[in-house]
Structures are given as structure tokens and as C-alpha cells.
Amino acid sequence: MDNNSLAHTKWECKYHLVFAPKYRRQVIYKDIKAD
């Protein structure tokens, strides 16, 4: 594995950690509102 793809994988991991919880919270909130 070359350095470039390793850096890309790390970036993707950070991106996922930052954006996934926000998105998940919105989905959960919508589910609660729908009940």
C-alpha cells in the first residue's frame, strides 16, 4: 500500500467520524418525530 492511499484512508476515516454521527442524529430525530 503506497502512502497516498494510506493518507486517503485516514482522511476518509476522519470524515466518517465527523459526519456520520450528525447524519445519524438527524435520522433518529426524524424517526422520533414520525412516531
What integer pLDDT is reported at residue 26 of this predicted model? 80
Query: What's the pLDDT tens digit per position in 1-35?
Result: 567 788 878 877 777 677 777 777 787 778 878 77
CA-CA distance, 28 to 30, in Å (whole number)?
5
Structural domain of 13: 1-35
- Give 21's Cβ-side CA count (13 Å radius): 4
C-alpha cell at 5: 492511499
pTM of the model: 0.28
Look at the chain and report how many structural domains it folds into: 1
